[in-house]
């Protein structure tokens, strides 16, 4: 993945949290998807991971190659690369598609040319994942919002959302 120039196609760039690892990918990506599997949940420490998939030859590390560590999952043979300085997940290589690599969508600063309309392992989706439910501000904690209680009546919900003084149960 190093010492190789991409074609003259437009590229999008990304990096890890500490900035040691930088990379670029030809635009647009091949596809994008949400991964609800347990392995990705643990690897990211997040309820699910969102990946951008790209052909390997369309991706290149531009800085920090030496800072990248690899972890191989014994059961699946999948390889996960991460920055050894800051721990950011960088590349997810699955055995079923060796010519394709997957990069966390969040690491790109700009649009990748694909919306994540696909879901993998949706049956493993966690019931604590935020699914866009209406939120109300939490009284006394600026910037904190919480889900409205289901027990409240419709009228109460309207009053809650209309009032900045509302407080979550
Ligand atoms: Zn880093």
**Cβ contacts of 64 within 8 Å, gap of 6 or more:** 16, 20, 21, 22, 83
Interval between CA 90 and ligand 1 midpoint (Å): 9
Q: What is the pTM of this model?
A: 0.82
Instruction: Please report the pLDDT score of residue 160 as a whole number.
Output: 52
CA 20 to each of CA 58, 65, 89, 151: distance values in angstroms, whole numbers, following the listed order: 21, 9, 13, 49
**Greatest CA span in the chain, whole angstroms?**
63
Query: How many A from CA of 156 to the centre of ligand 1?
Result: 47
Cα 69 to ligand 1 centroid, rounded to whole Å: 11
C-alpha–C-alpha distance, residues 132 and 114, integer Å:
21
Q: Which residues contact 101 (CB under 8 A, 6 or more apart)?
A: 53, 54, 56, 59, 91, 92, 93
pLDDT in tens, the chain (169 residues): 545 666 677 999 999 999 999 999 999 999 999 999 999 999 999 999 999 999 999 999 999 999 999 999 999 999 999 999 999 999 999 998 889 999 999 999 999 999 999 999 999 999 999 999 999 999 999 999 999 876 655 555 555 555 544 556 5
Neighbours of 161 (CB within 10 A): 14
Question: What is the model's pLDDT at position 164?
Answer: 47
């Amino acid at each position: 993945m190093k010492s190789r120039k991409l074609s003259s196609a437009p590229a999008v760039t990304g990096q890890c949290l500490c900035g040691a690892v930088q990379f670029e990918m030809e635009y647009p990506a091949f596809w994008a998807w949400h991964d609800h599997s347990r392995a990705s949940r643990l690897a990211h420490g997040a309820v699910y991971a969102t990946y951008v998939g790209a052909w390997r030859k369309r991706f290149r590390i531009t800085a920090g190659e030496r800072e990248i560590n690899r972890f191989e999952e014994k059961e699946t043979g999948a390889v996960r690369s991460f920055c050894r300085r800051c721990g950011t997940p960088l590349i997810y290589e699955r055995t079923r598609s060796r010519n394709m690599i997957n990069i966390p969508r969040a690491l790109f600063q700009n649009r990748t040319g694909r919306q994540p309309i696909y879901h993998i392992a949706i049956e493993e989706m966690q019931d604590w994942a935020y699914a866009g439910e209406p939120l109300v501000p939490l009284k006394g904690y600026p910037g904190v919002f919480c889900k409205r209680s289901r027990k409240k009546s419709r009228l109460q919900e309207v009053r809650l959302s209309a009032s900045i003084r509302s407080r979550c149960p």
